[in-house]
Amino acid sequence: MGYIELIIGCIFVNNIVLAQFLGQCPFMGTSKKMETAVGMSMAVIFVLVMAGVITWLTYHFVLVPFSLVYLRTIAFILVIASLVQFVEMFLKKSIPGLYAGLGIFLPLITTNCAVMGACIFNVDKEYNFLQALVSSFGYAVGFGLALILFAGVRERILLARVPKPLQDTSIALVTAGVLSLTFFAFRGMV
Amino acid sequence: MITAVVVMLSIGGLCGIILSVASKVFYVYEDPRIAEVEYFMSGANCGGCGYAGCSAAAVAVVEGKAAPSICIVGGSESAINIAGVMGLDPGTAEPLLSLNHCLGGDRADDKFDYAGVNSCKAADLLFGGKRECRVGCIGYGDCIRSCKFDAIDMGPDGFPVVNEITCVGCGACEQACPKNIITVRTMSQRLLHFNEEDDALAPCQQTCPAEIDIPRYIDHIRKGEYEAAVHTIKERNPLLLTCGRVCPHPCEDYCRRGIEDEPVSINQLKRFVADHEMNSGRRYPVPCAADTGRKVAIIGGGPAGLSCAYFLRRLGHSPTIFEAMPRLGGITRYGIPEYRLPDDVLDWECQGILDLGIECHLNTQLGEDFTFDSLMKEGYEAIFAGIGAWKDYTLNIPGEEFDGVWQGINFLSQVAGSPEKRIPVGNKVAVVGGGNSAIDCVRTLKRLGCEEVYILYRRTRNEMPANEVEIVAAEHEGIKFQFLAAPVRVVDDGNGKVAGIEYLQMELGEPDASGRRRPVPIEGSETIIELDMLISAISQQPDLSCLEREPEKDKIAITRWSTFDNDEETVHCSLPWLFTAGDAATGPSLVVDAIGGGRRAARSIHQFLTGEEIQGSPKSLRKKHIDGTIFKTVPGIVPKRRTPMPELEVAERITSMVEVDQVIAETDARYESGRCLQCCRLCYNPDAG
């Protein structure tokens, strides 16, 4: 499978939020304002790529040789959490500007299911290292795309006259459903 | 199995080592005070302070963006500790308290019966709940579930009750409540709140110019909690002794019991608790917010000025009163006679206000001893001008310059200012006018030994603006009323001394702009009354000659009634630091209007001092009534006799200045408070239930 197809597949066809339904919590929680949504998307891209790499390495160089594949979930959680902590400290010291932008989102996505899910897909589908890197990036961009699109829609919904029983989260869930249906149009492309 | 444990331990250990090394390598200096401040916070991460968790709040405190009192859960103890870390004054850590205004009940009709709902929010979405009442509690207890501190319980009547001891004021219940019933406010916020359209307000509270929470204080009296009743009144009106005596109680006109029965005697109940405090010999302590040190000049120590100074002081500011007369009280001292409001009562009331920490300069006159300009240069940041309306309108008839022709306020203030409350007066005296000042003049004259006292009014008794009770009292005291009489000229005895007044008899014609029928003279009906003294008390206006020396005089907007032109809602004048209320802004009006205006001014001055935009609420009521709250009938009321006003016998009272109206007894007060229907608080009829 070519890398182009892989990346399109990850962003659109198997979009982690709208097709796999993972990471719904930050998808709902941080989509009220465009600014927050953009910050969150960047943080997810940053963390997911790093996590994809580190979990792939852990899986192939630690868990497989010792036949401990059944421990993958707990091992991944441990590794990802430590990685995020490490990255947070590193950014705070070395790149304070980036830390100021992403800082508050980093702990939020420590063990986000979108991150975890993407890492597990990588090993389930037996990608090689480069494929894992690309697909992690693709999933993260897919998450960012969905989040930013959704935040744009929600900002417009604020201006609309929503019937009282449907206000706030209810209308957001309905909108997310419609958005998910539109992404179903990508089915079968790859 | 062993491999698994070893491998997981090594992964964990490796991560731990990397992180600990990283924490050294990537160590960033962080203010150690942040950790100290965070230590004193509750650690609940409740977000009640508006920051994302306690550490974010601690950072904000250390950066100076937030006050030490920010942690609402930790309360004042945490504020003091944090202030200690930061080396700051703890500032205003006023306790926030949650309050459920609605006491429950079943008086309001049900719109529908729907068994499937179990949350207030859901019920509210269904046409605002099952009850017709749109301001009351729905009673499914969303607030109870939202409270993380177990401070709200379902009361015995099925309505939530707040436990004031465990409540921390986090505000979760306020957010959970779909109906604005449960509110979380500091004292300052309560003092700054004015009646709004969607508040749960009884008709009496909507009508009261000072917006006193009448049903609440009556409820306190019913339960014998007199101190709490006084506090409830003092959140809106610092002059309760005065108002309890002289207020014409417009509230009682809208009392719902009054629709089917006699209205509750609201003002006598106010006087009862006010007198109870005074007679107990102990002043109930009045809480004030922490000092801000901001100086405000209050010009005029009348009801408006005292009210404004009192509320500013309670908000933590430092007002100073400048009074032109030798004693405080303004028109309540110099315009209202001793027999209605005794001096020692007023002294006790004024002293209580000054004791809060308000400075006062007596015998200092605006325009002579100081100007607005000189006050601003002395460091006062805002000025409240409550100079009252002390200039009598003249009759505009020939002969007013004769000896023995007096003006109302001048006469009353001379009597009030004399040590024995006695000045020499004539034997046959007429007073021109139909307002309260005119009645005050005639009743005072009677007490000063006048044999014949006439009141000349150009319309009839129905149109008299004076309070009904005052007119009745004057009738009892033998005042001769000459209605439909318009003075034409003053007659003298040839030596420039007044000898009589000539008036034209009138009849009523078409209604004029004020809605009262306009008097029309009857040709050739001139009559002369023989007199040796004449007082004109037709109305007053503010005396603005004191503004002559102001450098910015031209910028002060004045209306054509020679009152300050201010915004009705914010009482803000045309100069940014000038505020005014009371008679100086409204023209002659009620004491209680001046008190309400004084509080309005205090709110605007508070906003001005704290750098906020000076504004009221777009939903402000300002004595307008909320649609649908004024009923035509109130079913189920069993008539109960209203407690009569105890008063001295006529023969006893007209020879002295002794107070005429007496306070009601405690048993009567408890009975009278039981007549209150607790409108907008208790949704059931005490008579029926």
Exposed/middle/buried for B115, CB within 10 Å: 0-12, 13-18, 19+?
exposed
Which positions in chain B have a beta carbon within 8 angstroms of at least one beta carbon in chain A?
Answer: 3-4, 7-8, 11-12, 15-16, 18-19, 22-23, 25-28, 52, 125
Q: What is the mean pLDDT of residues A120-124?
A: 91
Per-residue model confidence as pLDDT tens digits over B57-82: 788 778 767 777 777 777 767 777 77
Q: What whole-number percentage of chain B has pLDDT above 90?
A: 42
Q: What whole-number percentage of chain A has pLDDT above 70?
A: 94
Per CATH, the number for B391-541 is 3.50.50.60
Q: What is the mean pLDDT of residues B314-340?
A: 92
Separation of alpha carbons B482 and B472, rounded Å: 15
* Residue B619, φ and ψ in degrees, nearest 5: -95, 10
- Tell me, yes or no, if the two domains B295-390+542-609 and B391-541 fold the same way: yes
Quote the minimal CA–CA distance from A13 to chain B in Å.
35
Q: Give residue A33's pLDDT.
A: 78
Does B15 contact A82 at a Cβ distance shorter than 8 Å? Answer: yes
Of all residues in chain A, the one with the smallest CA distance to B127 is A164
Q: What is the mean pLDDT of residues B136-151?
A: 81
Quote the minimal CA–CA distance from B364 to chain A in Å.
58
Per-residue model confidence as pLDDT tens digits over B158-176: 778 887 777 777 777 888 8
Q: What is the mean pLDDT of residues B495-517?
A: 85
Taking CB atoms and an 8 Å cutoff, what residues of chain B touch A82?
15-16, 18-19
- Which one has a higher pLDDT value, B92 or B279? B279
Q: What is the mean pLDDT of residues A73-77?
A: 90
| Residues 6 or more apart in contact with residue A68 via CB below 8 angstroms | A62, A75, B3, B4, B7, B8
Identify the weakest region by mean pLDDT among A45-54, B38-47, B536-545. Answer: B38-47
Q: Which DSSP state fits A124?
A: H
Per-residue model confidence as pLDDT tens digits over B546-592: 888 888 888 899 998 899 999 989 999 999 999 999 999 998 899 99
Whether the CB of A92 is below 8 Å from some CB of chain B: the reply is: yes
Give domain limits for chain B.
Answer: 295-390+542-609, 391-541
Does B8 contact A75 at a Cβ distance shorter than 8 Å? Answer: yes
Exposed/middle/buried for B36, CB within 10 Å: 0-12, 13-18, 19+?
middle
Exposed/middle/buried for A97, CB within 10 Å: 0-12, 13-18, 19+?
exposed
Q: Give residue B176's pLDDT.
A: 83
Res B481 pLDDT > 90: yes
Identify the weakest region by mean pLDDT among A82-91, A149-158, B355-364, B522-531. Answer: A82-91
Taking CB atoms and an 8 Å cutoff, what residues of chain B touch A85?
19
Residues B436, B470 contacting (CB under 8 angstroms): yes
Whether the CB of A78 is below 8 Å from some CB of chain B: the reply is: yes
Q: Give residue B94's pLDDT.
A: 55
Q: What is the mean pLDDT of residues B439-459?
A: 91
The band of B688, judged by pLDDT with boundaries at 50, 70 and 90, is low
Per-residue model confidence as pLDDT tens digits over B386-411: 999 999 888 889 988 888 999 999 99
Q: Supply the mean pLDDT for chain B.
A: 86
Q: Give residue B358's pLDDT.
A: 94
Q: Give residue B90's pLDDT.
A: 47
Res A28 pLDDT > 90: no
The band of B689, judged by pLDDT with boundaries at 50, 70 and 90, is very low
Res B93 pLDDT > 60: no
Per-residue model confidence as pLDDT tens digits over A33-48: 788 788 888 888 988 9
Res B233 pLDDT > 80: yes
The band of B91, judged by pLDDT with boundaries at 50, 70 and 90, is very low
Res B138 pLDDT > 90: no
Res A144 pLDDT > 90: yes
Res B242 pLDDT > 80: yes
Per-residue model confidence as pLDDT tens digits over B418-432: 888 888 888 999 999
ipTM: 0.80
| Number of other CB atoms surrounding residue A169 within 10 Å | 9
Beta bridge partners of A105: none
Per CATH, the number for B295-390+542-609 is 3.50.50.60
Q: What is the mean pLDDT of residues B90-105?
A: 59
| Residues 6 or more apart in contact with residue B497 via CB below 8 angstroms | B402, B403, B404, B532
Run of H or E residues at B684: none
Res B685 pLDDT > 60: no
The band of B98, judged by pLDDT with boundaries at 50, 70 and 90, is low
Quote the minimal CA–CA distance from A22 to chain B in Å.
25
Res B534 pLDDT > 80: yes
Residues B366, B373 contacting (CB under 8 angstroms): no
